[in-house]
Structure 1
Amino acid sequence: MNYKNLVAFLKELQKNNNKEWMDANRKWYTEVRNDFIGWLDQLNAQLAEIDDEYYDTPGKKGINRINNNLMFHPNKPIYKDHFGAGLDKRPNTGDFYIEIGIERSIFAGGLWRPDPKRLRSIRDAIDYDGEKLKEILAKKSFKKLFGTLYADAKLIKAPKGYRNDHLHIDLLRNKTFAVATEFSTNEVYKDDFDKKVISAYREMLPFRRYLNKAVTV
């Protein structure tokens, strides 16, 4: 993929974040978008080879809209400052998210503020074998890449049905179960970037499998 062309487009879009500019540069946008989709298709094939449970997600299904949702975020600009996509996107589970932006890019995965039913399923799993999740989160290479769980609001007390002295109360109080790693967009231009994507997917896989098993079984 021509990463530099993608970032150049995003920079110009943020300088001219309006429909008139986008309409005038629709050809450029289509070129960049199709290039991004083609790259996602390549990743989709590569990830399917290394994960026997991988959910086929072609680029056109994985890519996110470049428009911000102004209904819920009316103060945001019309267009995003990045191209984003979710791969291994099995319905109702946590996908593998990739974002290529102007100043930063992101690998992420898990479940952001899941609905009450799925949140209860995750907490039930933690109640049953939370030590497995803790082992995943404590792995040295995992911590080096992702740190800890994504910082988000937590319950002050134990969730309903659990004791405050529960062995895994630190996990049970979470409302979001996701991890992410950020890197400068300059990293995207390096020859080994695609290898980093694959490596991040592998490293995150046990974490995502734990959560996805919890919400589907």
Structure 2
Amino acid sequence: MSFHALYEFLRDLQKNNSKEWMDKHRKRYHEVRDWYIEWLNELNEELAAIHEDYTDTPGKKAINRINNNLLYHPNKPTYKDHFGAGLDQASKQGDFYIHLGTSESFIAGGYYKPKKEILDSIRDAIDYNGDELKSILTKSSFKEMFGELMDEELLKTSPKGFSSDHKHIDLLRHKSFAVSHQVTQKQVMDDNFKTYVIKVYKEMLPFRQYLNQAVSV
């Protein structure tokens, strides 16, 4: 089994996105899923050896359901076009996310559109010591790996309780504090992909630690 087989399965699933097709190919799905879980188990062990505060997240816990939630999104297809997995999963904290899909593949982390109480905690941390976060975000290797913070939604004005001339108003206006690194299917299928994921994890770690500390205080 391989990532090539994983992508092949996803492509076939998207051409035949129905419960009937999945029922006929259930064995194939489980073979791909079980192989990927074992790969995640190996990655989980290697990440745990890097970071002493790493939260053990076995592959079976890390991997997300492939079914879309049709209760809240009835217009979505029955199944997702990707395998998603979140490692280093501490309660109420941002995980380290791997997304392998037919349309895009990426590695991400942080807090994407968090709840108000989490967003408030992050903004309080920026108000107290935004210089530390700014130094992480402007580090050359970090910028090369992730670019800028995701900025799909920004406040047009300053958030409640903060002045418009705040030193870090550019950060405070964010509604998400997350970064992403795109990878190609060719990179994923390379024999050294796990080593590459670990490199991305290390570069992202100070950013995630800053945010997680803000949320846990």
TM-score higher than 0.5 here?
A: yes
Instruction: Answer yes or no: is 1:97 the counterpart of 2:97.
Output: yes
**Structure 2 residue aligned with 1:169:** 169
Looking at structure 1, the residues matched to 183 and 30 of structure 2 have their Cα atoms a distance apart, in angstroms, of: 26
Shift of residue 4 of structure 1?
0.8
Paired AA for residue 140 in structure 1: S
Please report how far the alpha carbon of residue 151 of structure 1 lies from its aligned counterpart in structure 2 after TM superposition.
2.2
Which residue in 2 is equivalent to 1:148?
Answer: 148
Matched-pair contact (CA < 8 Å) for 2:94–2:212? yes
- Structure 1 counterpart SS, 2:85: strand
Aligned residue identity for 1:149: L
Shift of 1:123: 0.4
Q: 2:69, 2:181 → 1: CA distance?
A: 24
Corresponding residue of 2:110? 110
The superposition leaves residues 40-72 of structure 1 with CA deviations (integer Å, 9 ceiling, x where unpaired) of 100110000000110000111111000112222
Number of residue-to-residue matches in the alignment: 217
Q: Deviation per CA, 1:127-184, whole angstroms, max 9, x where unpaired?
A: 0000100000001111111000012211111111100000000000111000001121
| Counterpart amino acid of residue 133 in structure 2 | L
**Conserved 8 A contact 1:126-1:133:** yes
Is 1:137 aligned with 2:114? no
Residue pairs, 1:64-213, within 5 angstroms: 64-213=64-213
* Structure 2 alignment gaps of length 5 or more: none
Q: Give the 4+ runs in structure 1 shifted more than 6 A.
A: none
Residue pair 1:136, 1:206 contacting (<8 A) in 2 also: yes
Specify the SS of the correspondent of 2:97: strand
Q: Which amino acid aligns with 2:171?
A: L
**TM-fit CA distance, 1:113:** 1.2
TM-score between the two structures when normalised by the length of structure 1: 0.98
Whole-angstrom CA distance in 1 between matches of 2:72 and 2:205? 31
Does the aligned pair in 2 maintain the 1:63–1:84 contact within 8 Å?
A: yes
Please provide the CA RMSD for this pair. 0.9
Q: In structure 1, what is the Cα distance between the partners aligned to 2:137 and 2:76?
A: 34
Please say if residues 103 and 185 of structure 1, whose CA atoms lie closer than 8 Å, have aligned partners that are also in contact: no
Q: How far apart in 1 are the matches of 2:106 and 2:174? A: 22
TM-score (norm 2): 0.98
Amino acid at match of 1:206: P
Question: 1:49 aligned to 2:49?
Answer: yes
Distance (Å, rounded) in 2 between the aligned partners of 1:157 and 1:104: 33
Tell me, in whole angstroms, the C-alpha distance in 1 between the residues paired with 2:71 and 2:111.
Answer: 22
Consecutive unaligned residues in structure 1, runs of 5 or more: none
Q: Which residue of 1 aligns with 2:62?
A: 62
Following the alignment from structure 2 to structure 1, what is the Cα–Cα distance between the partners of residues 150 and 200? 16
- What is the rounded CA distance, in whole Å, between the counterparts of 2:4 and 2:23 in structure 1? 21
Give the share of equivalent positions with the same residue, in percent: 57
Could you say what secondary structure the match of 1:142 adopts? Answer: helix
Q: Distance in 2 between matches of 1:8 and 1:178?
A: 29
**How far apart in 2 are the matches of 1:37 and 1:100?**
13
